[in-house]
Amino acid sequence: MAQRNKIEHEGVTRRDFLKGLGTGVLGSVVIPASPLVKSVKAASPDVEELAGTVSIQITVNGKVHKVSVEPRTTLLSVLREQLQVTGPKPVCDRGECGACTVLLNGKPVNACMVLAVDAENANIVTAEGLAEGGELTEVQQAFVEKDGLMCGFCTPGFVISATALIKEKGTKLTLADVKAGLAGNLCRCGTYPKVFEAVLTAARRIEEKGGGV
Ligand code: FES
Ligand code: FES
């Protein structure tokens, strides 16, 4: 019986199917899936090409890397799993928490939301790449001094976002500026007051020194 229904309805059209919904015969309709799949493939000839891997080059913390990635691979995954750069943290993996924030050509991005192929030839900086010659930046130093962390899982993301904030907005920041600038970073431990204090302290020190971030 099931076979007969299948044969009878193999040629069912979209119109037939919709009619069926209205007359209560849905249970006997077998929707032919293969024509739809074929038409999607015909409209998107790249579908099968996307199945493999591609080789890309990215610069991470000043070092050039060649990596092989699938089109779906995220920048976060390349950093952590292929390059063992583990500062950016996978927490929500959907662009909501900021724990994976890195600088991509100087701009802060959520690495979990960037496809690796879109970062080809980009210059990536993670928290590991901020200190020069083993000397912490003012932002990093202030996080340490002001105790701006508890478990520390959110900290690399906050440090990168704070660095980008001071670079973009300058050092004359108010508390409101800092709160707005770091709104994309979440801390499950609730260390916000100390994080904000650290960023304001760093901005003030950079201002006093007249130097860069
Ligand atoms: S892990 Fe990327 S935003 Fe949360
Ligand atoms: S210090 Fe634990 S999540 Fe922020």
pLDDT digits (tens, 9 = 90+) for 149-203: 999 999 999 999 999 999 999 999 999 999 999 999 999 999 999 999 999 999 9
Q: What is the largest CA-CA distance in the chain?
A: 85
pLDDT for 27 beyond 50: no
pLDDT given at position 31: 36
Domain ranges of the chain: 2-49, 52-129, 138-209
Is residue 13 pLDDT above 70, yes or no? Answer: no
- Of 205, 164, 207, nearest to 183 (Cα)? 164
The CA-atom distances, in angstroms, between 4 and each of 9, 15, 19, 29, 111 are 9, 21, 20, 11, 52
The tokens describing 169, both together, are 């907005």
Please report where in the chains the tokens 């900086």 appear, as a residue: 125
Whether 40 is in the pocket of ligand 2, judged by its Cβ within 6 Å, is no
Q: Is the CB of 188 under 6 A from ligand 2?
A: yes
Burial 59-79 (b: 16+ CB within 10 A, else e): bbbeeebebebeeebbbbbbb
Ligand 2 contact via 153 beta carbon (within 6 Å): yes
pLDDT at residue 129 above 70? yes
Instruction: Report which ligand 1 atom has the smallest distance to the Cα of 112.
Output: 2
Which residues approach ligand 1 with their CB closer than 6 A?
A: 90-93, 95-100, 110, 112
Rounded CA gap, 39 and 51, in Å?
18
Average pLDDT over residues 110-131: 98
Give the H or E element holding residue 180: helix 175-181
Ligand 2 neighbourhood includes 189 CB (under 6 angstroms): yes
pTM of the model: 0.78
Which CATH entry fits the domain spanning 52-129: 2.40.128.90, 1.20.1080.10, 3.40.50.920, 3.10.20.30?
Answer: 3.10.20.30
CA dihedral of residues 181, 191, 96, 173 (deg, nearest 10): 0
Flag whether pLDDT at 4 surpasses 90: no
Choosing from 97, 155, 158 the residue with most ligand 1 atoms within 8 A of its CB, the one to mutate for a pocket test is: 97
Query: Is residue 16 very low, low, confident or very high in pLDDT (cuts 50, 70, 90)?
Result: very low
pLDDT tens digits, 44-99: 445 445 568 999 999 999 999 999 999 999 999 999 999 999 999 999 999 999 99
Residue 78 near residue 115, CB atoms below 8 Å: no
Same-fold call for 52-129 versus 138-209? no
CATH class of residue range 138-209:
mainly alpha
Pocket test for ligand 2, best of 89, 100, 191 (most atoms within 8 A of CB): 191
